Amino acid sequence: MASVSEFVIRADAGPGIGLGHIMRCLPAAQELLRAGSRVTFAVRDDESLKILEQVLPQFPIAAEQMERVCLSGMKAKSGETACDTAAALAELAAEHSASAVLLDTYAVDPQSMLQLKEALHQSGTSLWYLDDLLAFPYPADGLINYSFYADRAAYEKLYQESDQNVTCPELLLGPSYVPLREEFRGKREVSEKAEDSLPSVLLLTGGTDPCHVLAALLEMLKDAFEVTAVIGAMNPDREQLIRQYQGSGNVRLLTDVRNLSEWMSCSDYAVTAAGVTIYELCAAGTLFLTYTLADNQLPNAHRCDEMGLAAYLGDAREGIDGRDPVAKRALEKLKEMTQLPENERQGRRNRMQELIDGEGAARIAQALRGGLT
């Protein structure tokens, strides 16, 4: 019987997939460790492992207590290097007598996922999947989708209409399960701004910025606003932006941010890609605009627009809308937001913070430990 104190989390990071998968798993890992469990974080390759080590200082409990494993370097039972990461993952879970595996990757298909689930069940391990695509009936024991658009009826219909004979798993749906870092717990007060200062805007493009949106936004907004730009570790324009804007006029550049919630709270507005940052901004009570860089961001961006939480600026990918139209719309929408009555802005801030309380990681950890209610 698997020990309830052992868990394996599986996710990757890199220039092609960004930091989102590991960054949304690490808060759950911290909560499991805080509850007395042991956690092993498994990545596919050395690149993902290197990135994991770079971000771990933001998660001190995990940095100190969590085991880290590179699946491509594991040895299979035959003694050969394990090239099948799914087989290596099942073997790792069996070695640790893991109670559950939390899987967060898009590199899955129905057959390989079913094989993984069956292999895990042989050692008494359950499979949980962190989803935001609703791509197929996932053969998992539990499924988490914290998106604003997550809909129980849509999942139940997907499984009912499937010809794969897959049972609908336990479903943890909606923004109450968004796994934010501890700094976003609890309601935060919005900082007071000097009346004669320019409105302040925080620019957030994630760890990679493959569409070079940050450069376009800086060029478009630098004269009308006090701009703070967070440059991700894998931003391809990092050095160029530092040379161009460091110490320049209304622009402040941040490169190694450990207190992002504070920067959010002291900014009037933010412009962000539609990843996990939108939930962080809601928790911080910072009004924001959003754009998309990938297909999986589209439903949330449109849902935020429909809910009146944040206007959608478009898709920054070349051949869709592009970064320059997104930047132009950002300037237009930000100017509109500055003209809103303060009571309307405050009402939106209150609604955002009511939706996101920062306790999602703790709820996920409770579910993994068998505390579903």
- Kindly list the structural domains of the chain, giving each domain's residue range(s) and its CATH number in brackets, ordered by start: 6-182+358-368 (3.40.50.11190), 187-355 (3.40.50.2000)
How much of the chain exceeds pLDDT 70, in percent? 93
pLDDT at 16 over 90: no
Give every CB contact of residue 333 below 8 A, 6+ residues apart in sequence: 289, 311, 313
Phi first, then psi: what are they for 274, rounded to 5°? -85, 55
Give me the residue label for tokens 């009308």: 224
Query: Which pLDDT belongs to residue 82?
Result: 40
**Of 31-35, 105-109, 218-222, 322-326, which range is least confident?**
105-109
Which two tokens mark 208? Answer: 């990679």
The tens digit of pLDDT for each residue in 151-197 reads 999 999 999 999 888 999 999 999 999 999 999 987 666 655 556 68
| Ramachandran sector of residue 36 (left: φ over 0; alpha: ψ -120 to 50; beta: rest) | left
Q: Are 357 and 185 in contact (CB under 8 A)?
A: yes
Mean of all residue pLDDT scores within the chain = 92
pTM: 0.91
| Residue 79 in this model has a pLDDT that exceeds 50 | no
Per-residue confidence (pLDDT) for residue 96, from 0 to 100: 95
Write the CA distances from 65 to 7, 99, 116, 130, 204, integer angstroms: 13, 18, 27, 23, 30
**DSSP letter at 18?**
B
